[in-house]
Every structure is written in structure tokens, then in C-alpha cells.
Chains A and B, each alone.
Chain A
Amino acid sequence: MSENSIKVPTMAEMMAEGKQPEVLFWVGCAGSFDDRAKKITKAFVKILNRANISFAVLGTEESCTGDPAKRSGNEFLFQMQAMTNIEVMNAYEIKKIVTACPHCFNTLKNEYPELGGKYEVVHHTQFLKSLLDDGRLTIEGGQFKGKKITFHDPCYLGRANQVYEAPRDLIQKLDAELVEMKRSRANGLCCGAGGAQMFKEAEKGNKEINIERTEEALSIEPEIIAAGCPFCNTMMTDGVKNKEKEGSVKVMDIAELIANAHDL
């Protein structure tokens, strides 16, 4: 399959055809603009295409959920973003949303309902897991069979929303060897990007948080550090580069693992 053969319908196109997709894929800002995260977006779309899932994106009608504004303390900007997005989504009568960004996931799922945006919101690892459970998607180990993979829990997926198993179940379906860091699941250490830290320099200290976390991950000698968040992905990738391990350790999103296993 060539890169350009992915099918990404927009809600506007769907509506023009009088169709309603099963699920809205909320791409998010990182997934739309960040070079590394765009690869995750495409990997996920390829899986959706392969499983013949009827989905659509908002495209140019999508706008930041407001998460980084809210975590910075700018409740005004957050609610403006939220209400604008809600207006768009309610107009399309969206029922279900899937997103590959735990920050979008948390905000859409927990903070939008009170403002009038009530949807079923799932993280892409949960969605893929449900496709698997329903037999709509099969996962083969492929190149990852027997590989040592560790999963870095994104704060906004794990502690914030208690999703710990879906990403791990998927890794295990790849016949990979899932190894856990000392601090995992509810005890997982942040990558350092949350709470809008992604967009600013860290306060004065003696270490960067992503270095601390990368050291922990490298200490168990994985071949792949799996992530479920574009921001964690960036932080861990930077950490691995800082440790000059990018030759031997890859940082990959769960969606990329599955897409690559299928040679998509």
C-alpha cells in the first residue's frame, strides 16, 4: 500500500453524502501538526482503513480542545475552545469519539459534558482493543514477536482515567515480551510534558523529568518504549536521543506497533 492511499473522510464530506460515521477520529493538534505525531495519526488511520471502520475527522473544523489552556489556568480560553468545538460536534450529531491523544481524551470525556458536549469518548488503545475483542481486527506479532517492549503510562490515560490494561493487552497480542518499569500503572512517572509543561522550559532543578523517566526505561533494557500519547512520545524520544540510544531503542506509539506488525 502506498502512503497516499489512506482514506480520511471528513465529517463535512460524510454529511454531504448523507452518511453518519460510526466514530469521529479526533486527531488533535499534535496529531495534525507535529511531524512525529503525524506518523501516529497515519498509522492509526491505516488500521481503521484496514478494519473497514466507518470514521471521519473534523479536518479544518477541528480546533484545540483547550487542554493546555485549562492546565495553564486559562479557564476562559479553555471554555471558549470547548464551546466552539461542542457547537461543531453537536451540529454533526457526534455520538462517539476516538482519539490518540490522552489529553484530548481526558478533556473531551470529562470536561466537555458539563458544557453540553456529551459523547462516548475512547482512547485509540481502547478502541483497537474493542475491535480486537469484536473480531473486527486481528493482530499478528510480525516483526515484534519476542521483542522486549515496555509501556510508559501517560498520566492522563492512566492515573487520570484508570486506563492501564488496553495498551498492555495490545502489546501482548503482538507476541512481544511486555516488561514493566519499576514505576508503572498508578505509580507511573510523568514524562514531564503534562500541565502545559510541553510548551515551556522547566523550572530550575537538577534534572529534566524526561531524562529521569528515560533512564528508568533504559534500565530495563527494552528494544522498544511504547507510548500512547504524542507528548510522551516526544519527551521519551528526546530522552533516548539525549542518552544516545536512538540506534538501539525505539519509541513507538501502540498504533504504530500494530500498523507496522501488519506492514501497513
Chain B
Amino acid sequence: MSILPNILFAIILIIGIGYFAKNVKKLIRNIKLGQDVNRKDNPSARLKNMAMIALGQSKMVKRPIAGFLHIIVYVGFVIINIEVLEIIIDGLFGTHRIFAFLGGFYDFLIGSFEVLALLVLVAVIVFWIRRNVVKLQRFWKPEMQGFPKNDGNYILYFEVVLMTLFLTMNAADFHLQYVSGGFSHYHQAGSFPISQFIAPIFDGMDNSVVFMIERTSWWLHICGILVFLNYLYFSKHLHILLAFPNTYFANLNPQGQFDNLESVTNEVKLMMDPSADPFAAPANPDAVPAKFGASDVQDLNWVQLLNAYTCTECGRCTSSCPANQTGKKLSPRKIMMDTRDRLEEVGKNIDTNKGTFVDDGKSLLNDYITTEELWACTSCNACVEECPVNISPLSIIMDMRRYLVMEQSAAPMELNNMMTNIENNGAPWQYNQMDRLNWKNEN
């Protein structure tokens, strides 16, 4: 047997994995453009979150139909990948079904892959129907036009093709295993609870044709997997990898607790310190004063940027958002999509400018996210609660409000009045602080 196919396989594998690795490097670099935030504390609670939410899919099943179907596809994806290991070994060393020596256990493995493959096919078809026929509202929001809409369908088509190739390959293999007198190296191995029902279509076909079908399916299947792997970086489907780090590094504090800006604390302390010398020379005169809040992706922290890459645009956040439900422009999913799009734009800018970002006159604020969206948020945390992988669109909204208010003094007029009241009389309304206890004596 020629070793040409093995060399070809090795080359395809190296290109496939190499290109993916290159993009992963870019992904990590982009995420690191974010500000530092400490999410390394309490590793046991973080591991538990990851185990429950990413591995255990605990938040997915809050919506039972989608949750159940998703678990099928997820389990199918994880388990069928054991088969990919065999395919890679076979491909590199010219073997055929190298794990067949496992005997009964191998039969069990192949059998369960097949059952899962069928279930995945069914689940994926239902997903497609939900998107395109039933037209679930959350898949048809304004931000889901163009690529985001197609992206969702491409992923489903990919999975249909991969599963079909997998079952065709097995069916052909099964057919050849039982050819009277045997055919080439196709000895009996594995059990085929699903594909045995496909196999009859090969009856009467020339063995060499069936062999060609088996080989073609095998090659297309593994090439398809490599293409799919490389598609991830450009797609919302990245969540299959990033859901794990994302849930690990997610916020552990109560959802109502917003961070206190340290740079502000220092200034306020100085203001309130009676012994502070207002004319003292700054400790570090060249220090650039901290920017308050976020107007662009570099001002966000790296977890928020990781969130953006992790988002799979399922829209549960948007469908639970009170502002969105009542027709406001705000969509928490769009906040995440915009953040990722802008981050990608900044990343490309850095690539073309040999490693440094050259101001392109654009920013996340205004060019992507409008103030109208930001001011529509009630900070109710419904989006954070809903997200199956613990993304926080709210934290981005808040950081951008901080920029609007503290850097640009651009709060809506009524909020400026409210804040002036707090400054002047310690309440959001115009009441005298000295009247605070009047209720005691009122009837």
C-alpha cells in the first residue's frame, strides 16, 4: 500500500490544526487587549461553576426544549470526538479501525456513536426548523440579519453533513465487512445499529464502488471536521470551547454588586481627607490619569472581551430583557456582538499596522453601541441570569455609562437633575436633608 495518502493526511492535519492555532493565538492576544481584572481567586468555586454550568449545562435546561436538544448535540459532539482520535491514527499510519482490538467495547463505542449521530441529526433538524420555519422571535431580532443569521444555519448544515458522512462511511464499511469471501482489509469490527439500515442501498453495487464511497466519506468527514474547527474562530460557534474558561472566570459576587472604581476611591479619599495638602506635587507627575469607564474595547476588562467571543447569540438575554420586550432599542445580545465585532476590527488594525493599534477614528461607543441603547437598561440583571454561560452584558453597559457620565458629562438631563439633587441635598429629589425625619410626625 502506498504511503502517499498518509503523507497527504499528515499535511492536511498540520494545515488544519496549524491555521486554527494561529487564530487561537490571535484570539488570546485580542482578549489580552482588555484591562486587568482579578478572577483567579476562589478556584474551587470557579471549578464548580465550570463543572455545573459548562460541563453540566445546568443553565441550558432552564428552557427545557432547547436545553434537551442542546444536550444531545453537546454529548454527541464530545463523545463522537473519540472516533476522531481513531480516524487520525488510522489516517497517519494507514491502519483501519485501529481500536477494533477492543472487541466488545469497540462494538459498544461505535454503536453509541451511531445512535448519537442519529440523535444529533434529529436535534439539528429541529433546531433548523425553530430558526427558519417556526421563526422563534429571538432569532429574528434586528441584530440577527446577514452573517449572524446565516452563521446559525451554516453550523447546522455543517453538522448535518458531518453526521451524514459519518453514517455513510460506517454503512459502506458494514457492507464491505459482510461481503462474502471478505473484501480487502474490511474485517468485522464494530456494531452498526443505525447504518446497517443504510447499508442495503449498496446491495448490488460493485465492491470497488462501495470502497470508493467509504473512502470518500472518510476523507470528507475528517476534512469537514478540520474545516469546521477553523470556522469556529469566525463564528458564534466558538462557545463550544470558550464556554469553559468563560464560566470559570465569571463573576462570583452577588449579581447586584457592581465594582467600585479604585481610581475614584483614591481621589474621593483624598478629597475627604482634612489633612491632605491640595498643593502637594503629584507623586508621579507623568502618570496618565486613569480613564473612567469604557468608550472602546481596550477600556473593557479581559473577561468582558472573553464574554464577547464566547457569546453564541442564542438571544436568551435579549428575550428576557425588559427594555427589549417593550420595544426599546437595547438588546443585550447586540452589546456582546458589537463588542466582538469592534474587537475583531481593532485586532485587524493591529495586524495591518505591525503590532500597534493606529487610531481609526472609531470606537465601540457611537459607532457600534448608541447611547439610546445604554440608557434603556434597568440594570435588572435578567440578561446575566439568563445567559447559559454566565456572560454579563450589564457590566459592559455600566462601564460605558460611566464613560458617558464621568468623561463626557453626557447623562440625560433628568439624570443630571437627579444627581445634582443628591449632591446638594442627599436625595434624588429636591427635598431638604433637614426634612428627612418629617414623616415621623406626619399623619
- Chain A positions near chain B (C-beta within 8 angstroms): 3-4, 6, 8, 10, 27, 29, 31-34, 38, 41-42, 57, 59-60, 62-64, 66, 68-77, 79-81, 83-84, 87, 106, 109-111, 114-115, 155-156, 159-162, 186-187, 189-190, 192-209, 211-213
A4–B255 CB distance below 8 A: no
B329–A209 CB distance below 8 A: no
B293–A73 CB distance below 8 A: yes
Cα distance A38–B441 when bound, in Å?
11
Most chain A beta-carbon neighbours within 10 Å: one of B257, B271, B398, B438: B257
Using CB atoms, name the residue of chain B closest to A196: B415
What 1/0 flags go to B358-397 for Cβ under 8 Å of A?
0000000000000010011111111011000000000000
Chain B residues whose CB sits within 8 angstroms of the CB of A202 once the complex forms: 326, 328, 376
B256–A156 CB distance below 8 A: yes
Cα distance A64–B418 when bound, in Å?
11
Chain A residues whose CB sits within 8 angstroms of the CB of B272 once the complex forms: 80, 83-84, 87
Cα distance A93–B259 when bound, in Å?
25
Q: Number of A-B pairs whose CB atoms are under 8 Å?
A: 220
A41–B439 CB distance below 8 A: yes
Q: A29-B429, A71-B379, A205-B327 are in contact. Are A6 and B271 (CB under 8 A)?
A: no
Cα distance A194–B426 when bound, in Å?
19
In the A-B complex, the 4 residue pairs with the closest CB atoms: A160-B256, A195-B379, A73-B401, A206-B327
Cα distance A5–B267 when bound, in Å?
45
Cα distance A69–B426 when bound, in Å?
11
Cα distance A229–B36 when bound, in Å?
36
Identify the stretch in B95-103, B176-184, B317-325 within 8 Å (CB) of chain A at 4 or more residues.
B317-325
Identify the stretch in B190-198, B302-310, B405-413 within 8 Å (CB) of chain A at 4 or more residues.
B405-413
- Chain B positions near chain A (C-beta within 8 angstroms): 253-258, 260-261, 264-265, 267-269, 271-272, 292-293, 320, 322-323, 325-330, 372, 375-382, 384-385, 398, 400-406, 411-412, 414-415, 417-419, 422-423, 426-429, 431, 433-443
Most chain B beta-carbon neighbours within 10 Å: one of A42, A81, A197, A201: A197
Give the residue of B258, B412, B414, B439 whose beta carbon is less than 8 angstroms from that of A38: B439
Cα distance A8–B398 when bound, in Å?
38
Q: Helix, strand, loop or mixed for chain A's interface?
A: helix
26 contacts between A and B (CB under 8 A): A10-B437, A33-B431, A33-B435, A57-B437, A60-B434, A63-B427, A64-B422, A66-B422, A74-B405, A75-B406, A76-B268, A79-B264, A80-B268, A80-B271, A106-B257, A114-B260, A115-B265, A155-B381, A193-B378, A198-B428, A199-B417, A200-B375, A200-B418, A203-B329, A204-B328, A209-B378
Chain B residues whose CB sits within 8 angstroms of the CB of A75 once the complex forms: 260-261, 264, 292-293, 402, 406
Cα distance A64–B424 when bound, in Å?
11
Chain B residues whose CB sits within 8 angstroms of the CB of A111 once the complex forms: 257-258, 260
Give the residue of B267, B292, B372 whose beta carbon is less than 8 angstroms from that of A203: B372
Using CB atoms, name the residue of chain B closest to A157: B256
Give the residue of B255, B264, B422, B433 whose beta carbon is less than 8 angstroms from that of A159: B255
Give the residue of A68, A187, A196, A209 whose beta carbon is less than 8 angstroms from that of B320: A187
Distance between A163 CB and nearest chain B CB, rounded to angstroms = 10
Distance between B441 CB and nearest chain A CB, rounded to angstroms = 7
Chain B residues whose CB sits within 8 angstroms of the CB of A192 once the complex forms: 322, 378
Using CB atoms, name the residue of chain A closest to B271: A80
